[in-house]
Amino acid sequence: MKKFNSYITTKGLFGMGMNDPSIIKNEPMFFNSDLDFAYSKGGMITKSFIDNLPNDWRHGEVVFDSRVHMLMPGWYPCIPGYHHDDIPRSTDSGQPNYNNPEYHSEHILGLINGQICPTKFAIGECEVSFPVNDDVIYKVWHDEIKDHIKNGKLTEIDAPSNLLIYFDCDTFHSGDKAVGNEWRWFGRVSRNTDRVKSITNEIRNQVQVYLEFPTQGW
Ligand SMILES: [Fe+2]
């Protein structure tokens, strides 16, 4: 078995009053960006997210990603299922390396209009089975985390909007499906990760959604 302390802490507010569709949909999306690039090219939400980061993050070696989605009920803005962010995949199988990871990443996430499709966190201490061979580990752990939530070992909470939420590579979280029609902004800054060594400052012009039942008509 493997033990995790899955927790979040809050680091303040951002983007207050910026949930109007005209603001969200005009926000550029960044991938693998440093903060100077995102600040110079970003809209008011990106700038507010960066302005409100703790000083050591604002001026530290970090990497920033953001996404803007127009969601409808049942659509997922990310692959769903409980997982950890940015565990090095330095294994022969390409699965996350939980034996001797080269780094322990930390993250701050923020959502605008997150209520339409909140990131879910599983909070508490828990044990899950240790990855063996070529286990697709998050497929195994998703079910174990849902069981821990059912039996009260972990508490599932929705990420509130407009809040800077700190978590690390031990924090189990999952995307979920949208429950209404709305624009949504997601941003995340990460540190203590190899990604900071290969910043590419990309602006993304496309974003995808994931469907549970893609053939139900429209
Ligand atoms: Fe994630």
* Per-domain residue ranges of the chain: 11-211
Q: What is the pLDDT of residue 26?
A: 96
Read off the tokens for 172: 């189990």
Q: What is the pLDDT of residue 218?
A: 61
CA of 85 to the centre of ligand 1 (A): 5
d(CA 146, CA 140): 11
Q: What is the pLDDT of residue 214?
A: 66
CA of 21 to the centre of ligand 1 (A): 24
CA of 137 to the centre of ligand 1 (A): 14
Let me know: does 177 contact 120? Beta carbons within 8 Å: no
CA of 35 to the centre of ligand 1 (A): 20
CA dihedral 136, 142, 147, 152 (to 10 degrees): 140
CA of 159 to the centre of ligand 1 (A): 12
CA of 130 to the centre of ligand 1 (A): 20
Tell which residue, 186, 162, 168, 167, has the closest CA to residue 176: 186
| 177: alpha, beta or left? (left if phi > 0; alpha if psi -120 to 50) | beta
Strand 75-76 relative to strand 210-211, pairing = antiparallel
pLDDT tens digit at each of 218 positions of the chain:
999 999 999 999 999 999 999 999 999 999 999 999 999 999 999 999 999 999 999 999 999 999 999 999 999 999 889 999 999 999 888 899 999 999 999 999 999 999 999 999 999 999 999 877 777 899 999 999 999 999 999 999 999 999 999 999 999 999 999 999 999 999 999 999 999 999 999 999 999 998 877 666 66
Let me know: does 170 contact 70? Beta carbons within 8 Å: no
Q: What is the pLDDT of residue 84?
A: 96
Q: What is the pLDDT of residue 4?
A: 97
CA of 87 to the centre of ligand 1 (A): 10
